Structure 1
Amino acid sequence: MKLAIAVKTYPDPTQTPATEHIAKLFGGESVVLCRARHPELPGTRPAFCLADHRPGPALRLADHLAAPFEHGRNFLRNHNTHPPTGSRRRALEGFLRAQGVEAILAEFGTEASFWFPTARKLGLPFHVYFRGHDATAYLETPRRAPRRIRSYRAMVGAADGIFAVSQFLLDQLAARGITNPNAHVVPSGVDMARLRPAPKEPGLVIAAGRFIDKKAPEITVRAFVEAARAHPGARLEMIGDGPLLAPCQALARELGAEGKVIFHGHRPHGFVEERLRAAPLFLQHSVIAPDGNQEGAPVAIQEAMAAGACVISTRHAGIPHLVEEGVSGFLVDEHDAAGFAGHARAMLDDPARAARMGQAGHAHAAREFDRAALYRRVEAVLRASVARRAGRPAG
C-alpha cells in the first residue's frame, strides 16, 4: 500500500518515531509530505515540500486573489484557514496522484490540521498520530486554544482513524470534545533486537532526553547527587541538549558533582542505545511544564526497559501504563525530589534488586513495545480504512 506520511521537517533525526515510520511502514515505500527540508541532510524518500514551491509573479497574483475564497471555504468546512491553497494546493494534489498515494498518516495533530483539507478534497483516507504536546499544551494556549480545539474537532471527527501513544492522550482529547470512534493506543515502540541487554556497568545511571521543562532535568541532577553520596563510583550520564542544559551544567558545578554528572549533549541514537544497554538504572522525572506541555508515552523509558534498566520516573501522563511500580521500576509524584532520590539510592544500595527489576522491564517491553508488532497493528488499521473507502473487505 502506498502511504504518504506528513511531518513538519524532512528529514528530522530528532523525531525518531516519525523517522522510523517513514523507513519501516509498508516496507519503507512511503512518500513524505513536509513543510520544510532539513538544510543539510538529504532525504531518502520522494517528498513534497511546501517550501520548494514558490510560484512566479503571475501565479503569485492569482494565488493572492484566490486565497480569501479558499481560506473561507476551508474555515467553513474544516475550521482551518492554514492549509496549502492555490498553486501550492494544486502541486500537492498532483504529487499525491502521481505517486499513487492511497492514504495519509499525519505525525502529530499539529501537522494533521495542515494537510487534512487536501486529503478530504481528494477523498483519501486520513489518520492522525498524537504523541504528547499536540494533545496537551498545544490546546491550552489561552488566545489560540478555542480555535485550535474547533479545528481538531472537525478534523478528528472526520478522519478515518486516530492513533495515540497512550490512553492518557486520548483522554485529554476527549475531555475537549475531540473524539473518533476508530481510535487506537499504539506506543511508538522500540527495536528489541538492537536493545538486547548487555553486561551492566556498576553504578552507571542514564538520563536521556531533551533538556526542557517537562523533563525537569534539574530534579534529576539533584536527586542523583543526593542518592550517590554513599556511592563514590556512581555516575550519571545525561544525553541530550536543550535550553536547560547550561543551567544543569551550572547546577552540577554548584553541587560539586562535575566528575559524577557527565553531559554528553546531543548524540546519535546508536550512542544512546549503547549506553542504555550498559546501564542498570534509568532516571526520568517528567512533569507538567508551565505551558501545559506533557509527555505521551516516553520512548526513552520504553527503550530503557527494553535494554534491561530499572526505571525510576513519575506518575505523569502515560508513564504509569509503561512502568509497573515495584516490578520494573518505581514512580513518584511530580516534583517529589526526595522520593525520587530515595528510590535511586535504594537501587544503588541493592544492585541485585535493580537487575531483577530491569529483567522484568525487558520482558514487559518484549510483550508490549516490540516495534515490529506495533507497526503491523498500524498497517492493519490503515489497510482496513482503505478497504472500507473502496467498499471491499479488509485484509
Structure 2
Amino acid sequence: MNLLIARSNFYSYSETFIDEQIKQLAPTEVLYEGWLPSRTYSGKSIYPFPLTLLIVRGTLRNLFPSLFRKIYQYFLVKFIRNNGIDALLANYGPLGANIYEACLAANIPYSIVFLGFDANEKKTLTQYQAAYQAMLPRAKSVIVVAQSMRENLEAIAGPLSNLYFIPCGVDTSKFKPFGEKSEQFTFISVARFAEKKGPIHSLRAFTKVFKEIPSARLLMVGDGPMWDEAKAFVADNHLENHVDFLGAKTQDEYLPLLQSAHVFIQHSIITAAGDSEGTPVAILEAAACGLPTVSTRHAGIPDAVIEGETGILTDEHDIEAMATACILLAQNPSEALKMGIAARKHVSEQYDVVKLSQKIKSILK
C-alpha cells in the first residue's frame, strides 16, 4: 500500500506521537505545512513554480480564498495520482477537512486521526461543523485517541460505524526503567505550558507538597504561552530552589529525567473554550519508565491511569486533592514503586506503539 500521511508541522517537540506514527507506518510520503499541507519530507512540493513560493500562495489565499482552495485541491489530486498513492491518513480534523475532497476526486480512501482540540474545542467544532458532517461518514476510518471524543463527533455527524478508538502509543523498548532514582524525592511534568495542561494548578499543588516535604523537587519540561506566568508564580512563592524550568527538550533529552524521577504529575483541565486533551503521551512515557502518575479524571487519562493501581486521579481544579495524593506517594515510596511497576505493565500491554500501529495498519488496509 502506498500510504500518504499528512500533518501540519514538519516537526514539533510536542507531537512525538505523530513522529512515532510515521516511523511505524512507514508511508510512501509525508505531506506537511499547515492545514493545507503541500511540502513533502523528501523535499518535493505538490505545486509547480511559482506556487512553490510561500509569498505567492499567501497572497492568493488572502485575496482569493475560494480560488486558492480549488487550486490546492487540483494539485493535491494530481500529486496523489502521479505518485500512485493508495490511501491517505490525515492528522487532526481541520487538516482532514481540507484534503478529503481531493481524496474523493482521486478515488482513494482517507482516514483521519483526531488528537485533542479538533474533537473538543467549541470554536473548532463550530468552524468545521459543515466539513465534519460531510467528511466523517465518507471516511475509511475515523480514529480517536480518547473515548470521550466520540460523543462530540457523533453529535455533529451522527452515528459513525467507521469510528475506532486507538490511543496514542509509546515505544516501550525505549521508555523503560533504568538507572538510579534521584536522592531527592522528585516530581516531574513534561508538557507544554498551555491552559489545558494545567501548569499553574500543578504548581499550586506542589506548593502544598513543599510545606509538608521541604526536600521535594519538581522538574518542569516544556515551554509555551504560560511559561512566564509559571515562573512568576514560583518566584512569588519562593520556590526557585525547588522547581526547575528545563524548557523544551527532545525525547532523548528528557528520557533520563523521567527515569530518575519518582512521580509524574499533570493537572489537565477542560479550558473555558472547551479545549481538552486526547491521551497525553507524556503520561504513557512516564508509566513506561515505571513512574506512577498523579493527574485528573480528564479525557483519555482515566484509560491510561488505573485509579489506585497505577496512579492517583483527582477531579479537575481540586488542588488540595492533588497535593494530598503527591504527599501520600512521597511519604510512602514503596507504594509509589509498586504503582510504578503496575504502570509499566499496563502500558506495555495496552499502549505499546508497535501493537497499536498494527491496529491502524489493519484498518487502513
| TM-score, normalization by structure 1 | 0.83
Residue in structure 1 matched with residue 220 of structure 2 by the alignment:
238
Paired residue for 1:213, among 151, 173, 195? 195
Q: 2:221 touches 2:249 (CA, 8 Å); kept in 1?
A: yes
Residue in structure 2 matched with residue 17 of structure 1 by the alignment:
17
Q: 1:328 touches 1:357 (CA, 8 Å); kept in 2?
A: yes
Residue in structure 2 matched with residue 359 of structure 1 by the alignment:
341
Paired residue for 1:114, among 62, 83, 98? 98
Residue in structure 2 matched with residue 157 of structure 1 by the alignment:
137
Residue in structure 2 matched with residue 35 of structure 1 by the alignment:
33
Residue in structure 2 matched with residue 3 of structure 1 by the alignment:
3
- 2 CA distance for matches of 1:369 and 1:326? 19
Question: Taking structure 1 as reference, are residues 338 and 167 closer, same or farther at Cα in structure 2, changes over 3 Å only?
Answer: same
Residue in structure 2 matched with residue 200 of structure 1 by the alignment:
181
Q: 2:137 touches 2:157 (CA, 8 Å); kept in 1?
A: no
Q: 2:14 touches 2:191 (CA, 8 Å); kept in 1?
A: no
Residue in structure 2 matched with residue 348 of structure 1 by the alignment:
330
Residue in structure 2 matched with residue 98 of structure 1 by the alignment:
82
- 2 CA distance for matches of 1:178 and 1:135? 14
Counterpart residue type for residue 132 of structure 1: G
Counterpart residue type for residue 101 of structure 1: I
Q: 1:197 touches 1:277 (CA, 8 Å); kept in 2?
A: yes
Paired residue for 1:188, among 134, 143, 168? 168
Question: Taking structure 1 as reference, are residues 335 and 5 closer, same or farther at Cα in structure 2, changes over 3 Å only?
Answer: same
Aligned ranges 1:311-330 → 2 under 5 Å: 311-330=293-312
Structure 1 gap segments, 5+ residues each:
72-81, 384-395
Q: 1:34 touches 1:50 (CA, 8 Å); kept in 2?
A: no
- Greater shift, 371-380 or 94-103, is seen at 94-103
Q: For residue 214 of structure 1, report the CA deviation from its aligned partner.
A: 0.6
Question: Taking structure 1 as reference, are residues 243 and 52 closer, same or farther at Cα in structure 2, changes over 3 Å only?
Answer: farther
- Greater shift, 225-234 or 250-259, is seen at 225-234
Q: For residue 145 of structure 1, report the CA deviation from its aligned partner.
A: 4.7
Residue in structure 2 matched with residue 126 of structure 1 by the alignment:
110
Q: Deviations over 1:276-321 (max 9, x none)?
A: 1222100000001121100111111111111111100001111111
- 2 CA distance for matches of 1:51 and 1:303? 42
Q: For residue 43 of structure 1, report the CA deviation from its aligned partner.
A: 6.8
Q: For residue 179 of structure 1, report the CA deviation from its aligned partner.
A: 4.2
Q: Deviations over 1:240-296 (max 9, x none)?
A: 001111111111111111010000011112112221122210000000112110011
3-state SS of paired residue (2:235) = helix
Counterpart residue type for residue 126 of structure 1: Y
- Greater shift, 94-103 or 240-249, is seen at 94-103
Aligned ranges 1:23-62 → 2 under 5 Å: 23-25=23-25, 28-36=26-34, 44-45=41-42, 47-48=44-45, 54=51
Q: For residue 177 of structure 1, report the CA deviation from its aligned partner.
A: 3.6
Q: For residue 15 of structure 1, report the CA deviation from its aligned partner.
A: 1.7
Q: 1:305 touches 1:311 (CA, 8 Å); kept in 2?
A: yes
- How many pairs align? 354
- 2 CA distance for matches of 1:111 and 1:94? 18
- 1 CA distance for matches of 2:52 and 2:187? 53
Q: Sequence identity, in percent?
A: 31
Q: For residue 176 of structure 1, report the CA deviation from its aligned partner.
A: 3.1
Residue in structure 2 matched with residue 247 of structure 1 by the alignment:
229
3-state SS of paired residue (2:299) = coil
Higher relative contact order (CA 8 A, sep 6+): 2
Residue in structure 2 matched with residue 291 of structure 1 by the alignment:
273
Q: Deviations over 1:58-108 (max 9, x none)?
A: x99xx99xx89xx5xxxxxxxxxx98413x433322221222111000001
- 1 CA distance for matches of 2:51 and 2:166? 38
- 1 CA distance for matches of 2:309 and 2:257? 22
Q: 2:136 touches 2:157 (CA, 8 Å); kept in 1?
A: no
- 2 CA distance for matches of 1:288 and 1:14? 19
- 2 CA distance for matches of 1:270 and 1:49? 33
Q: 1:312 touches 1:330 (CA, 8 Å); kept in 2?
A: yes
Q: Is 1:272 the equivalent of 2:269?
A: no
- 2 CA distance for matches of 1:216 and 1:147? 25
Q: Deviations over 1:108-144 (max 9, x none)?
A: 111100111100111111000001100011xx12xx7
Q: Is 1:169 the equivalent of 2:149?
A: yes
Q: For residue 149 of structure 1, report the CA deviation from its aligned partner.
A: 1.4
Question: Taking structure 1 as reference, are residues 243 and 369 closer, same or farther at Cα in structure 2, changes over 3 Å only?
Answer: same
Q: Is 1:227 the equivalent of 2:209?
A: yes
Structure 2 gap segments, 5+ residues each:
none
**Structure 1 vs Structure 2 CA RMSD:** 2.5
Residue in structure 2 matched with residue 78 of structure 1 by the alignment:
none
- 1 CA distance for matches of 2:50 and 2:101? 18
